[in-house]
């Protein structure tokens, strides 16, 4: 549960009007109005004097709340308000990891990791063959390791500008936000291979040979007159049919 406290110094004999509102990016909405709760808090919140007790808080309850109190007195209407920020802490869930199964050396490869339930937002750590990858800081051990990637712990991306065969391995990502246990995705293997230039050349040569052979076959057929004979035969048939008529 969460308690949003709102204290005032108005006299006990004054007639008080209490309202609670939630301030969101899309506007301001009533939480407690005309002596009853509205919206998501209906049925799971209660008043504590002028404050609020919320039971079974969820991530959707996070936000900024404003308590507004108006009091009638002999001097006239008196107003007061207080603003409270509620942050509901949520442990991360199992992140979704995108790791390509294969890649060619020299190409750009990006691995991604993301989970959306954690509050505050999670940070991400990538592992290769069970060992945590270093951040590319340009100094110290990270610089000495000649790192070829860039790891963004905020977004969860692992970017290889020019992937090499040494980057072949088993990768997984871990999400943590300081609340509860960290969570990791399943291990996925990325295989990096050299571009098979000889295979590509062989395929191109094979296709070229097939095209040449097809061309020679057509030329040979035309030279022997196969296409002309077929045309003459067709004309003869038409002529005989006309004679019979």
Residue 205: per-residue pLDDT: 63
Q: Is residue 219 scored above 70 in pLDDT?
A: no
The string of pLDDT tens digits covering residues 181-216 is 999 999 999 999 987 545 556 566 666 677 767 777
The string of pLDDT tens digits covering residues 132-189 is 999 865 444 444 456 789 999 999 999 999 999 999 999 999 999 999 999 999 999 9
Residue 224: per-residue pLDDT: 66
Give the residue-averaged pLDDT of 222-243: 53
Domains and CATH numbers, the chain: 2-86 (2.60.40.10), 96-193 (2.60.40.10)
With a pLDDT cut of 90, the percent of the chain lying above it is 54
Asked if 46 and 56 touch (Cβ cutoff 8 Å), the reply is no
Pick from 1-5, 115-119, 184-188, 215-219: least confident: 215-219
Q: Is 144 left (phi over 0), alpha (psi -120 to 50) or beta?
A: alpha
Distance CA 20, CA 37 (A): 9
Residue 141: per-residue pLDDT: 46
Greater confidence (15 vs 245) lies with 15
């Amino acid at each position: 549960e969460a308690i949003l406290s709102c204290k005032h110094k108005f006299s006990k004999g004054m007639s008080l009007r209490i309202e609670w509102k939630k301030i969101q990016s899309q506007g301001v909405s009533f939480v407690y109005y005309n002596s009853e709760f509205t919206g998501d808090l209906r049925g799971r919140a209660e008043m504590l004097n002028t404050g609020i007790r919320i039971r079974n808080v969820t991530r959707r309850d996070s936000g900024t709340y404003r308590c507004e109190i108006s009091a009638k007195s002999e001097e006239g209407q008196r107003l007061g308000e207080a603003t409270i920020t509620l942050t509901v802490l949520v442990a991360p869930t199992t992140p979704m990891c995108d790791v390509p199964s294969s890649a060619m050396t020299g190409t750009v490869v990006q691995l991604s990791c993301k989970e959306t339930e954690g509050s505050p937002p999670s940070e991400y750590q990538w592992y290769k063959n069970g060992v945590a990858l270093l951040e590319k800081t340009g100094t110290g051990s990270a610089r000495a390791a000649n790192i070829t990637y860039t790891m963004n712990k905020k977004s969860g991306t692992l970017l290889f500008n020019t992937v090499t065969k040494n980057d072949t391995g088993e990768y997984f990502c871990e999400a943590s936000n300081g609340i509860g246990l960290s969570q990791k995705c399943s291990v996925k293997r990325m295989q990096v291979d050299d571009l098979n230039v000889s295979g590509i050349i062989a395929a191109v040569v094979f296709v070229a040979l097939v095209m040449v052979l097809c061309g020679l076959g057509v030329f040979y057929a035309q030279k022997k007159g196969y296409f002309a004979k077929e045309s003459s035969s067709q004309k003869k048939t038409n002529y005989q049919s006309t004679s019979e008529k």
